[in-house]
A and B are shown apart, each in its own frame.
Chain A
Amino acid sequence: MDDYISAEGLRKVYTMGMVEVRAINGVSFSIRKGDFVGITGSSGSGKSTLLHMLGLLDPPSEGTIAIDGTDVIPLSEAEKGVFRLSRFGFIFQDYALVPELTAEENVSLVAMARGDNADSYARRARELLSRVGLGDRTTHLPSELSGGEQQRVAIARALINKPEILFADEPCANLDSTNSRAVLDLFREINRTMNLTVIMVSHESWHIEYCDRVVRLHDGKIEEDFRPEKRDLTITP
């Protein structure tokens, strides 16, 4: 299978006062289409920095990134914006839903921004909300939803534009284990049924059981890159 995402010699150097911090220090790897990749490591190992670079949110200091054959580093900010809008889905630790929009409106927003047909994105938003188990809460505002429910709305929002890659940065950090498991089950299901490439950052060791592949970072370098032993994950209905 061809490489879908390919990173070569990635470095990210931050200057904090007089000190130079090498957050990512020469990382090269590739990801196949449809993989569920977990990026783990201790705090400060550079896992979020790597995800931000792959998600075109933060340019590397050195190195190249190619996604589906496109060298994305030379793209302008506006082009990166379009790339993210049309090909990526993002889920963050903070759900950051627009508080004045209902669940359905929050999900529809990115499709609306892309200029999709109103009827089509409204229908798709409702479908996605049903899929993440919130079919009966489409008209609820974020303040009327629990943390787990808000994260599920954020997942539906990330999927509305039918992305090719889903980036998730500590998606379960604010959730209890039950809600975390529900969210991860959902990721797994999406990954399997939609053939979506998922790149998830997590520091929880038990999360790796959901991944096809795990990249463990240490001090900005890949310490370990392995395929965890598969076990049968039952999707929570």
Chain B
Amino acid sequence: MFNDLKVSAFLAARSIQRGGRGRNAMYIVIIALVLTNMIFLPSVIMGAMDVYYEQTIDYISSDVIIKPPEDVRYIDDVETLLATVNRVPGVVRASARYPMAGSIDFEDKTVAMEIDAFNPRDETEVTKFHKHITEGDFLGSGDRDQILVGSLVAGNKDDIGEFYASLGGATVGDVVTVRYANSVVREYRIKGIINTKSYQADYMVFVTKDEMDAVTGTGGAQATEVLIKTVTNEDAPLVKKRILQFGVGEDVRTWEEALPDVVSESIESFAIINMISVFGGLVIAVVLIFIMTTIKTFNNRKQIGILKAIGLKKGIIINSYVMQVIFICLIGTVLGSLLLGMMVLYFTTFPIEFPDGNVTPIVTWSMIIENTALLFISSAVAGFIPAWRVVNEGILEAIRGG
């Protein structure tokens, strides 16, 4: 058995070394491109998903989020809840959000939307809005007559191509009128413009919690969610467990659990696109290898017949063709991996600009191993079948038919 493999390897090595180098080089390049194609698109999709997850954590839900129990609109006694959560090991800080529906007027534009409120000191420890103020400043604790506006809400003078209703180019220092759902009307000076590149985050406006208390009047503002930042590298499900152990009765979710259904559906859709892309790549590889081996074995029919006649086992001959395919795949995957590495390096230095942010392709070892294994197995099968067919032909048929 080992000797048979040795003879197959010898025949395969000589065939690669001395037979049709240009043709083999072409096959290797095609396999390299197939592997690149199989991995690159998924890596970009994975990069885009990673950007989305990062934005969700940085602006929308943080690492863990607490919402009121089902069928309850507000969180009861949020101050006590914040004090409790801030004591939980692994929690950096919790920040409550106090929204109220309303509309914002600026010049002749009106945008109907939810106005959110937070405690600026808590918020800077929990989200990254304060790091993405492109104009002006972040809100301060004592700010009462100022508002922070997302760049998509502020809009542009020329609003052609804007997807959302905007204030038509409001800038820092402009005064906007906010009409709250409880009929309170306030005028605010825009203190800062947020630009995070996240559609969701950039279509938000914020006032301070003190201001929302004043707008709400008796009883103060009511929170609908509490965002919780965990210590770096802390396991979110573990922190969630600890929070529940501290007696919190609200709906506690990790950021992954809090992702809307539409995101899970998008992930599934991307997975299908990935599968189609991988399948397409594999089909190209299989067809290529099949044609390559078919041509080679049919051209060598007479030679194969005579090798069988002089006593070489079928397995030796078949394996020599399969080994040639495996060798081409091996060099092709090495070349493909190098090519992929260069592409990832380039797009890490110059990220791909997506509407939701700059995307860097993410290539994991599992992606490389899975796709390489798929490529090897399918190519080996594609190489084996034509070799097996020709080798199983009768000796005399092969000798006469060649």
Contacts and interface: CB of A to CB of B under 8 A. Distances in A.
A81 B315 CA distance: 12
B19 interface: yes
Contacts of A99: 18-19, 303
A88 B309 CA distance: 10
Contacts of B316: 113
Interface in B290-326: 302-303, 305-313, 316
A57 B309 contact: yes
B131 interface: no
A105 B10 CA distance: 10
B29 interface: no
B210 to A, nearest CB: 84
Nearest to B306: A96
Contacts of A22: none
A166 B3 CA distance: 25
B7 A109 contact: yes
A58 B396 contact: yes
Contacts, number: 80
Contacts of B309: 55, 57, 84, 90, 92
B18 A100 contact: yes
Interface in A83-102: 84-86, 88-90, 92, 94, 96-101
A101 B303 CA distance: 12
A90 B306 contact: yes
A207 to B, nearest CB: 21
Interface residues of B, number: 27
A110 interface: yes
A124 interface: no
B22 to A, nearest CB: 15
Q: Which among B4, B15, B310 has the highest number of chain A CB atoms within 10 Å?
A: B310
B92 interface: no
Q: Which among B15, B308, B311, B395 has the highest number of chain A CB atoms within 10 Å?
A: B311
Contact of A81 (B17, B302, B305, B311): B311
B393 to A, nearest CB: 13
Given A94-B306, A98-B14, A52 B312 contact: no
B399 interface: yes
B11 interface: yes
B308 to A, nearest CB: 7
A74 to B, nearest CB: 18
Nearest to A48: B396
A92 B7 contact: no
Please classify how large the interface on chain A is, using the bins under 10, 10 to 19, 20 to 34, 35 or more: 20 to 34
A69 interface: no
Contacts of A58: 395-396
A13 interface: no
B310 A85 contact: yes
B19 A90 contact: no
A17 interface: no
Contact of B399 (A85, A92, A161): A92
A5 interface: no
Contacts of A101: 11, 14
A82 interface: yes
B17 A112 contact: no
Contacts of B395: 57-58
A15 to B, nearest CB: 15
Contacts of A141: 18
Interface in A44-59: 52, 55, 57-58
Interface of B: 3-4, 6-7, 10-11, 14-15, 17-19, 302-303, 305-313, 316, 395-396, 399, 402
Instruction: Give me the 6 closest cross-chain CB pairs, A-B, nearest first.
Output: A85-B311, A96-B306, A100-B18, A84-B311, A115-B3, A100-B14
28 contacts: A55-B309, A57-B395, A57-B396, A58-B395, A81-B308, A81-B311, A82-B311, A84-B309, A90-B309, A92-B306, A94-B302, A94-B399, A94-B402, A98-B11, A99-B19, A99-B303, A100-B14, A100-B17, A109-B307, A110-B310, A110-B311, A110-B312, A112-B7, A113-B3, A113-B316, A141-B18, A158-B310, A161-B311
Interface of A: 52, 55, 57-58, 78, 81-82, 84-86, 88-90, 92, 94, 96-101, 105, 109-110, 112-115, 141, 157-158, 161
